[in-house]
Structure 1
Amino acid sequence: MYETYKGRHIFSEQSIRYEGALRHKEIPLQAIRGYRTDDKYTHIIPVSKAYPSIRIGYTSEGYEDIKFWLADRFPDLDVQQEQEAQDILQDETLGRSVPEREEKLAQARQVARVLNGMAWATAAWLFFYPKPYDVAVQAGLALPAVAVVALLWYQGLIRADERKDSAYPSLSPALFIPSLGLLLRVLLDFELLDYLMAWQLAAAVAVLFGGLLMYGNRRFISMPNSRWGAIAMVFFCALAYGYGAVVAFNCVFDESPSRVYTVNVLKKHTSSGKTTTYYLEVGSWGPRTAPEDVTVTEATYDHTMPGDSVQVYQSPGRLGVPWFIVGE
């Protein structure tokens, strides 16, 4: 109640500011994409997440004058989205008749909704409880590929990037979230002995994956107001999927016998950030001719002390990239 009493919206020719008792926000006018209105608020939408959004309640003093002020300077994104939806229904390249285009748009929205929901579930599965492990990894490998197929099937009707003010459904979560989950999983679980070869293979997969994304998303890349966002999404999806897919396929599906080394533990330490990484410093073994840190699971870290020994399992890799894991 005190925040509501103290809160003020300040409009100038440079920015819109919110000054409250506990919160302060400011958006430069050139960073405002537009505004949206619902039954309780007018929402001022920035061009990117680098800037905060500001909402103005309909009970604010001078609310009608504020809406006129905004309408003189910025697009109404609700009207813009409605106009974009009408453009879709009038686009003869997307179907022979309006009912056919309406049906196709509804199908595309449903496909995007299902794949995006599966994306979040798959990423959570990979990151929090990847069991059975190979099945979870297969899901992480398959879902972005299925999303690319959907993008190509509904060419020009589904976008790879995401814009909340767009009438076009987006597959951004289905493309990026499982790729990111797969990338984090392999970074946590596997260590490579030849990163140069891994990056060469990852670059080849990223170019192929990114090329398909560029082709399927070319309609939106050609639009000046969405070009750079669309290109950025393609780049990050291709990079995450390229490396994650190569390392996952190389390590998870490697059926070759491993060479086992018994090595001494010299030290142990952790690295903390958003997640905690556990390290053991071990003596030389196989291709490692000097003591180096290796990552281990939390359980292995807790049960192992300096002076103990651990097993290093080295494998040649399904794609020829040698890798290893450490166990008790």
Structure 2
Amino acid sequence: MRNVGAPGGAGGGFASASPVIYRYSSASLRNAWILGVLFSTAAVGLTAWFLRDFVAGRLEGPAFAGYLLMPAFLGLLALIAIAWIKTRLVLSADAIELRGLLSTRRMARGDIVGFRPGSQSATCFLIGKHGKSFDVPGDIPLDDRFAAWMGELPNLTALEQQAVLEQVRADTRLGIDPEQRMARLLQARRLAGALTWMSLGLVLWCLIYPWPYDLVVGLTIAWPWICIAIALGSRGLIRLDGKVGDPRPVLAVPMLMPALAIALRALFDVDLVNPGQAFVWGAIAGVPLGIVQWRATVLSSRMTARFFGGLGYIALATCYGAGALSLMNVRLDHRLPVVSPVTVSGKHISSGKHTTYQLDVSGWPGYPRGHRFTVSRVHYERARKGDALCAIEHAGALGMAWLDLGNCPAATP
């Protein structure tokens, strides 16, 4: 941040006797006012419209409640815009406050031990005792009075970077002298960059053109563990957890992208009779990866960020485990299936980032209400309503029954 940490003592350069108040820039406030008025007007107008139809009997109770979700969402957006307008950053000689619409955050000047450079959403992060953090919003224009108030607070990120580099230079496992050890760090960064590009290529290969199928699926399942093995074998030069500003490369992204790809691949290719089985066993199988992914998050002093970040990594590990087990359950299944003749009763195409082709079938004894299969484009285009096909039920190599649809096998004489 500009002028942050400028000389001036521990807040001694802050000469203002009265609190200094900062607001968002004029352009930001103008935009917030416009959006607030638009969202509020739209919310009120939609509510009145739906209420009129409900009173006139054109909307039933459940439908009316569902329609009210739209103006409620618009009202929430209007509230966010109003909160933006009401926000104030207040500096006094002994504290800093961020006053919002519903709450106020405060940190005493004497409790601040340093700062970290900000991101797009924050000018800087003031770090207090016991790791407590205070975010200075990035869209609030500051001046020399703020720099004087900051005084000579240390840049904690820069100090940690220097400490890590000194640790690398002193690690005798990495080379015979500091120059060789720093060269190893540069090599590790290049390797991490190459792994990132390779993981991106693997994801595209897995999702767009997975052939040869077993090779690409097996490699995608193994890739997160390959990244973990490389990190463990790097003697600390390559990390799985990433602090902001750490000079050592991090493998969180190349580890997580293939994990998500394998979950999507299973979603496209596998039709399980009971998908809940895959998620139960997938949660167990994904525990080791989930633990590693939890450590891969950028460390945060906020309990809410750690909590929701942890939930996200647990969910991703569960999807990875479910996808990997589902695909192995299908590819390793060599038992004889149960074949039942069915009739095509409908065709559907679901378009989006990924186009899905589906066929509805009827006449299946085990599914009196019919069943919808996801099929390839070629299979979809060849099928016609009323065609006779065969539904195939497999036991599954891991005990998770799965379904397939295809042409009926020719009768043997």
Q: Deviations over 1:239-286 (max 9, x none)?
A: 232122111211123233433332101112223333232222111436
Q: Does 1:280 align with 2:359?
A: yes
Task: Note if 1:224 corresponds to 2:304.
Answer: no
Structure 1 gap segments, 5+ residues each: 1-11, 37-42, 48-52, 56-64
Matched, 1:189 2:189: no
- The residue identity in structure 1 corresponding to 2:165 is L
Cα 1:46–1:209 shift into 2, 3 Å: farther
Aligned residue among 312, 321, 330 for 1:251? 330
TM-score when normalising by structure 1: 0.70
**Judging changes above 3 Å, is the alpha-carbon distance between structure 1 residues 71 and 101 closer, same or farther for their aligned structure 2 residues?**
farther
Name the CA shift for 1:34/1:218 in 2 (closer, same or farther; >3 Å): closer
Contact 1:161 1:233 in 2 (8 A): no
Q: 1:45 to 1:130 in 2, by over 3 A?
A: farther
Sort the Cα spacing of 1:66 and 1:15 in 2 relative to 1 into closer, same or farther, 3 A. closer
State, as a whole percentage, how many aligned pairs show the same letter. 26
Q: 1:219 to 1:135 in 2, by over 3 A?
A: closer
* 8 A contact 1:213–1:234 mirrored in 2: yes
Aligned to 1:235: 314
- Aligned partner of 1:50 in structure 2 is none
Q: 2:164 aligns with which of 88, 91, 94?
A: 88
TM-score, reference length from structure 2:
0.57
Whether the aligned pair in 2 keeps the contact of 1:140 and 1:182 (CA below 8 Å) is yes
Q: Secondary structure in 2 aligned to 1:273?
A: coil
- Separation (CA, whole Å) in 2 of partners of 1:235 and 1:255: 32
Query: Residues 163 and 129 from structure 1, CA distance in 2 versus in 1: closer, same or farther, beyond 3 angstroms?
Result: farther
Change (3 A) 1:175 1:218: closer
Residues 35, 196 of structure 1: alpha-carbon distance in 2 compared, 3 angstrom cutoff: closer
Amino acid at match of 2:166: Q
Q: Residues 254-265 of structure 1 correspond to what in structure 2 (within 5 A)?
A: 254-265=333-344
Letter in 1 for 2:395: P
> Any gaps of 5 or more consecutive residues in structure 2?
1-20, 36-83, 90-97, 99-115, 125-136, 408-413
Q: Using a 3 Å threshold, how does the CA distance of structure 1 residues 192 and 158 change in structure 2: closer, same or farther? A: same
Greater shift, 256-265 or 150-159, is seen at 150-159
Mapped partners of 2:312, 2:240: distance in 1: 7
Closer/same/farther in 2, CA of residues 197 and 236 from structure 1, 3 Å limit: closer
Residue pair 2:284, 2:318 contacting (<8 A) in 1 also = no
Show the counterpart of 1:142. Answer: 222
| Cα 1:165–1:145 shift into 2, 3 Å | same
Distance 2:146 2:390 in 1: 66
Give the corresponding residue for 1:173. Answer: 253
1:201 aligned residue (281, 288, 304): 281
Task: Tell me, in whole angstroms, the C-alpha distance in 2 between the residues paired with 1:128 and 1:98.
Answer: 45
Distance of aligned partners of 1:44 and 1:200 in 2 relative to their CA distance in 1, 3 Å threshold? closer
Q: Shift in Å at residue 133 of structure 1?
A: 0.9
Render the CA deviation track for 1:35-90: whole Å, top value 9, x for unaligned: 58xxxxxx76689xxxxx989xxxxxxxxx9786886799xxxx766544312122
In the other structure, the counterpart of 1:131 is 211
Equivalent residue of 1:91, what SS?
helix
- The reply on whether 1:15 has 2:94 as its aligned counterpart is no
Shift of 1:100: 6.2
1:182-229 CA deviation, whole Å, 9 max, x = no partner? 111110111001223222210111113223445xx38965x6379728
SS in 2 for 1:318: coil
Find the counterpart in structure 2 of residue 58 from structure 1: none
Shift of 1:297: 1.8
| Conserved? CA contact 1:90–1:98, under 8 Å | no
**Secondary structure of 1:140's aligned partner:** helix
Q: How many residues align?
A: 293
Distance 1:266 1:158 in 2: 55
Matching residue's letter, 2:327? A
Contact 1:278-1:296 at 8 Å conserved across structures: yes
Aligned mates of 1:90, 1:303 — CA distance in 2: 66
Which of these two proteins has the greater Rg computed from alpha carbons?
A: 2
Is the 1:311–1:327 Cα contact (8 Å) retained in structure 2?
Answer: yes
